Amino acid sequence: MSDPQTSRQSGILAHIERAGNRLPDPAFIFIWLMLVVVAISVLASFFGVQAVHPTQQMDDGSPLIIEAASLLSAENIQRLLVEMPTTFTHFHPMGYVLVVMLGAGVAERSGLFGAVMSRAVRRAPMALLTPVVALLAMVGNLAADAAYVVLIPLAGVIFAAAGRHPVAGIAAGFAGVSGGFSANLLPGQLDALLFGVTEAAVDTLDSSWVMNIAGNWYFIAVMTLIYLPVIWYLTDKVIEPRLGRYQPADGDDTAAAMAGPTSSEVPETIDERENAGMRRAGITALLVILAWVAMCFAPGTPLINEGAGPATMQPFYQSLVAGFFILFLASGWAYGSASGSVKSHRDVVRMMSEAMADLSYYLVLAFAAAHFVAMFNWSNLGLIFAINGAGVIQSANLPLPILMTLIIMLTASINLFIGSASAKWALLAPVLVPMLMLLGISPEMATAAYRVGDGATNIITPLMPYFPLILTFCQRWDRNFGLGSLAATMIPYSIWMLVTGMILAVIWVAAGLPLGPGVGTTYELLQP
């Protein structure tokens, strides 16, 4: 646990933390929020709250009206009770988390993670530990949701091995993976997904426009470089000093186990077994990676869609969750068989079972969170809020820099309620993209502005599907770390990433810089 005699006990973040930690358990917070949404949905339905869908029409050609739906209607009550098992099991992150953690459990408990990280830390300059974690976290978004369940807990392990506060490492990793969700050095599956939505929105004005998956490449690369020092400074100068020096609780040997023994503590024979395990694990990991590469770059292989255009590599991106599972399972087993921590397949099964036991609290949270998110969607309140909010911005007729800032703020606000990046963009793009095109802003720049707002508030909303999981990771190192603690820890990242992202977007528009190869910030609608 953390040293209680620290600056963590004073200041505005301390007030936020204390207020947040006085709240009920997060599982019950979701239950109370469900009741609030039920009440609002009943009132909204009674008063006829509605919005006109920006793109969809009725069969007779009239506009589609989205009406608030009461969650106490017979249909929605039936839906809740009948679909309860599937609502839980189909919760978006569940499959990713469980699959990856099965493999990671073997790699962790066999000692592989601890050995790799302790060696890496001993060789790496201590001053560069935070930026390395932050950069890997942002680049790790190429692995999609797998980055949440792989990189973030590993960041805690790395910091513990270096003698630093593991929660600070988790915070840096979370800020990079989730706050910097749209930042990256290379385009990936998110670019293909978002620009697919953008293309559909553009079609209402310009059917000749064709999406370019690299349309935001330069922008997101600069975002990465801008966010990196922000995360670095906040982690080292604000967050970690506030957390204080890490002190494991009595009887908690997690840090020691994860960090691995020092050379002075380890007999020579154990060092030899560890070296043998590292060699065997390295060979195994290389074979798994080569297998994945072979399935991507040869004609007719299963992980590429030949002739699919920008989505050619989509199966590869989607396969990375399974890839991490196999990589961790195989390399952890190989390490354990050589080092002596895995004597038979029964040890592997035991390690996987223990990994699932560690996720028991997350499963309880996920059950409550899944039903809240589902009920919020059934009420149509999120959709109505998004449409009406976009309409307000459209009617304001403001200067472009202010308009871009408001769009980013709108996206960031909606992101507190609707977590899915593609879902929000599918709601906002039909209004925002044509509106900005008519004002001379390119569809690519509209997409870039959306991405800034979409990432910054991911890390402070409990409605983000992975928020309960991150809380679980933190509580592994600090049992007293509550919902308020996590929110207070991440608020500085959220504020500064939002501010720097908005400044970047405004400067980009003002300077007319290229967003990607052959893509600018401006657009001219050709008149027939």
Cα 481 from chain centre = 20
Say how far apart CA 336 and CA 249 lie, in whole Å: 28
Query: Is 528 inside any structural domain?
Result: no
pLDDT in tens, the chain (528 residues): 444 444 455 566 566 556 655 667 767 877 888 999 999 999 999 999 988 876 667 878 788 888 999 999 999 999 999 999 999 988 766 777 788 888 888 988 888 877 776 666 566 677 888 998 898 888 877 665 667 877 888 888 888 888 889 999 999 999 998 888 889 888 876 787 788 788 878 876 777 787 777 889 999 999 999 999 999 999 999 999 988 888 776 555 454 444 444 433 444 445 788 889 999 999 999 999 999 888 877 777 788 777 666 556 667 767 777 888 899 899 999 999 998 899 999 999 999 998 888 788 778 878 887 888 788 889 988 778 767 776 777 677 778 788 889 889 988 888 877 666 766 787 778 778 887 887 788 999 999 999 999 888 888 877 777 888 898 889 888 888 887 888 889 999 999 999 999 999 999 998 989 998 888 888 876 544
Residue 329, CA distances (Å) to 95, 107, 111, 332 in order: 16, 6, 12, 5
Q: Evaluate whether residue 24 is within a structural domain.
A: yes
Residue 289 to residue 270: CA distance in whole angstroms: 28
The whole domain housing 41 covers 7-511
The helix/strand/coil state of 112 is helix
Is position 380 within any domain?
yes
Domain-located, residue 1: no
Contact between 219 and 113 (Cβ < 8 Å): no
Q: Provide the token pair at 192.
A: 């293909």
Question: Which residues, in sequence order, are CB contacts of 358 under 8 Å at separation 6+?
Answer: 101, 105, 472, 476
What are the residues whose beta carbons fall under 8 Å from the beta carbon of 22, sequence distance 6 or more? 484
The tokens of 236 are what?
Answer: 């080292």
Which pLDDT belongs to residue 1?
A: 46
pLDDT at 373: 77
Locate the DSSP E strands across 337-394: none
- Asked, for residue 517, whether it belongs to a domain, the answer is no
Residue 387: what pLDDT?
75
pTM of the entire structure?
0.68
Q: Which of 165, 184, 180 is nearest to 235 (CA)?
A: 165
DSSP H helix total and E strand total for the chain? 23, 2
33 occurs within a structural domain: yes
| Those residues with Cβ within 8 angstroms of residue 183's Cβ, 6 or more apart along the chain or in another chain | 138, 141, 220, 223, 224, 227, 455
Residue 522 lies in a domain: no
Task: Please report whether residue 492 resides in a domain.
Answer: yes
Residue 264 has a pLDDT of: 39
- For residue 244, the one-letter residue type is G
From CA 474, how far away is CA 170, in angstroms rounded?
7
The structural domain count of the chain equals: 1
SS3 content of the chain, % helix, strand, coil (to 5): 70, 5, 25
Residue given tokens 């800032």 in the structure block: 405
Residues making up the chain, counted from first to last: 528
As given in the structure block, the two tokens for residue 320 are: 């990375």
Query: By three-state DSSP, how is residue 437 classified?
Result: helix
